């Protein structure tokens, strides 16, 4: 979900707020009550320990004050003692966003159905879905959850992963369904002719060589709204030809 709407998580927002306030406290006058309480509690308070955990998680460091019980934030190179609040805010935002991106990408590595999403550079808002049948098929193709034989062989009648529409004797995967099955040759050729014109012959050859052409037509590469609409139409044609009807 985050990959579609591009929002930061609540933990990231909390992390930015907490570390930003920590940087403000460090540059605050000692006569301010907030600074007095901070100095009094030092490293013993739960809040200060939370700051330490967040700093480590976001690849930020900290230096203990000589002869004191407090500490101040540093960047990954040990710098930042004399930075102003504005500079720290920028660095904190950058590091928290990087930590969130790492967590997002690592979580995708653990899920097979999100394999294609690993090509996304970062979470960002998408307008790919509008509630129609094409949007439903697009989502299922992206998450490899289309009810093809490779996925449904455990409970379908044939108990086989193989494609029943062609003679290639290979598993009916999303890639086979979209790019290889002989049964949909005519529709595929028309769609790929349009796609190569939209993407460019040279770039398409690169994508094929890298095995990323399926991700591209499913909209997980560059933003190509017109191509994405054509992909939805293509998916609907193939799905109805396959015999699963749809809407």
47-92 pLDDT, tens digit each:
888 888 888 888 888 776 655 556 778 888 888 778 888 888 898 9
Q: What radius of gyration, in Å, describes the C-alpha atoms of the chain?
A: 26
Q: Which residue has the tokens 């710098």?
A: 79
Question: Rounded distance, CA 220 to CA 120, Å?
Answer: 6
**Tokens 């939370």, residue located:** 50
- pLDDT single digits (tens) 120-163: 777 766 677 788 899 999 989 988 889 999 988 888 787 889 99
DSSP state of 173: -
pLDDT tens-digit map of 207-245 = 999 998 999 999 887 888 899 999 999 999 999 999 864
Spatial distance between the Cα atoms of 102 and 231, rounded to a whole number of angstroms:
30
In angstroms, rounded to a whole number, what is the distance separating the alpha carbons of residues 40 and 124? 43
Distance of alpha carbon 93 from alpha carbon 122, whole angstroms: 15
Q: How do residues 29-43 score in pLDDT, each as one tens digit?
A: 889 988 888 878 766
User: Minimal CA–CA distance to 19: which of 93, 103, 97?
Assistant: 93
Strands (E), the chain: 61-64, 71-74
Is residue 214 a contact partner of residue 142, using CB atoms and an 8 Å limit?
A: no
pLDDT digits (tens, 9 = 90+) for 169-196: 999 999 999 999 999 999 999 999 999 9
**pLDDT for the residue 6:** 59
Q: How far apart are CA 163 and CA 135, in angstroms?
A: 24
How far is it, in rounded angstroms, from Cα 68 to Cα 44? 12
Phi, psi dihedral angles at 99 (to 5 degrees): -65, -40
In angstroms, the CA 79 to CA 231 distance is 50
The pLDDT value recorded for residue 45 is 82
Place 7 in a pLDDT band, splitting at 50, 70 and 90: low
Q: What is the model's pLDDT at position 104?
A: 80
Four-CA torsion 173, 174, 179, 180, nearest 10 degrees: 10
pLDDT at 247: 46
Kindly tell me if the per-residue pLDDT of 206 is higher than 90: yes
Assess contact for 42 and 119: CB atoms under 8 A: no
Q: pLDDT value at position 246? A: 46
pTM of the model: 0.67
């Amino acid at each position: 979900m985050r990959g579609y709407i591009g929002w930061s998580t609540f933990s990231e927002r909390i992390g930015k707020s907490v570390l930003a306030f920590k940087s403000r406290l460090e540059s605050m006058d000692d006569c301010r009550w907030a600074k007095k309480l901070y100095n009094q509690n030092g490293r013993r308070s739960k809040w200060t320990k939370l700051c330490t955990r967040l700093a480590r998680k976001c690849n930020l460091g900290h230096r203990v004050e000589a002869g004191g019980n407090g500490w101040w934030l540093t960047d990954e190179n040990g710098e930042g003692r004399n930075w102003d609040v504005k500079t720290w805010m920028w660095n904190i935002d950058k590091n928290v966003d990087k930590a969130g991106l790492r967590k997002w990408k690592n979580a995708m590595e653990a899920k097979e159905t999100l394999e294609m999403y690993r090509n996304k550079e970062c979470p960002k808002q998408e307008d790919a879905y509008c509630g129609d049948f094409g949007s439903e098929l697009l989502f299922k193709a992206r998450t490899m959850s289309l009810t093809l034989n490779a996925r449904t062989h455990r409970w379908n009648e044939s108990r086989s992963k193989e494609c029943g529409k062609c003679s290639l004797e290979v598993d009916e995967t999303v890639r086979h369904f979209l790019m290889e099955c002989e049964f949909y040759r005519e529709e595929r050729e028309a769609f790929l002719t349009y796609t190569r014109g939209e993407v460019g012959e040279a770039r398409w050859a690169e994508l094929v060589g890298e095995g990323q052409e399926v991700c591209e037509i499913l909209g997980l590469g560059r933003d190509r709204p017109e191509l994405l609409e054509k992909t939805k139409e293509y998916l609907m044609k193939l799905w109805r030809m396959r015999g699963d009807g749809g809407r």
